[in-house]
A = this chain, B = another copy of it.
Amino acid sequence: MEHVRPLPTYLAQRYHGWKATTFAENRAWYKRLADEGQRPRAMVISCCDSRVNVTSIFGADQGEFFIHRNIANLVPPYEPDGNQHGTSAAVEFAVTSLKVAHLIILGHSSCGGVAGCYDMCSGHAPDLEEKSSFVGRWMDLLRPGFERLPAEADETTRRRALEHEAVNVSLENLMTFPFVRSAVENGSLSLHGLWTDIGEGQLYSLGISGEGFAAV
């Protein structure tokens, strides 16, 4: 592996600082997590975006959230075709092995993946339509959301609505997984949809009242 480089020095230094403080103060908890395995209460599916850290927002500690992060926090529909589905594998593991009680989809403002999908579906991003574009093919998952955007609204409204749809579509697709539907229906799993405005630090949740997202 001639292309692999050692950890940059500044990260090594910060790691040593973490080990001497956070780790040292929580050594017993880390030992127990290592000995007994994880037992997370919730799975969170959020975006890879560097500005969205769910553990920070919820003051979560090691062992609390099983976290899958992909572009635009998307879940594909159930498709047991023998191919590789990383997101479906994560959901399967969380629900059937770890038996998490909550499954949270967390969307966010100014999402680059959603913006690319909007441009692509509007015919303004031919590069994303290429068969070889991984981002384009991944964002195909959100096309059903684009189809139901309010036609008469202005573009800013429609782009924001598509970010909300990334949460809605994922929640809908989750219910196509037999083991998710069954866990939801027998009361051992609940689904949640969140969306956060990065600049305002405001979190919105589905299911608080009527339809749509409401401020937490």
- Hey, which bits of chain A sit against chain B, CB under 8 A? 1, 3-41, 43, 48-53, 55-71, 74, 76, 80-94, 97, 99, 101-102, 104, 109-110, 112-113, 131-135, 137-141, 168, 171-172, 175, 183-184, 187-194, 197-203, 205-208, 211, 216
Distance of A55 Cα from B59 Cα, bound (Å): 13
Q: Is the CB of A51 within 8 A of B62?
A: yes
Q: Is the CB of A83 within 8 A of B80?
A: no
For the A-B complex with A9-B26, A33-B199 known, give 8 more contacts whose Cβ atoms are closer than 8 Å.
Answer: A3-B184, A8-B26, A9-B22, A17-B22, A35-B199, A50-B62, A89-B139, A92-B134
Q: Which residues of B contact A32 (CB under 8 A)?
A: 99, 101, 188
Distance of A70 Cα from B92 Cα, bound (Å): 12
Distance of A187 Cα from B198 Cα, bound (Å): 14
Q: Is the CB of B68 within 8 A of A50?
A: no
Distance of A70 Cα from B86 Cα, bound (Å): 6
Distance of A216 Cα from B191 Cα, bound (Å): 29
Q: Do A194 and B7 contact each other (CB < 8 Å), given the known contacts A31-B188, A49-B38? A: yes
Most buried by B among A6, A55, A65, A85: A6
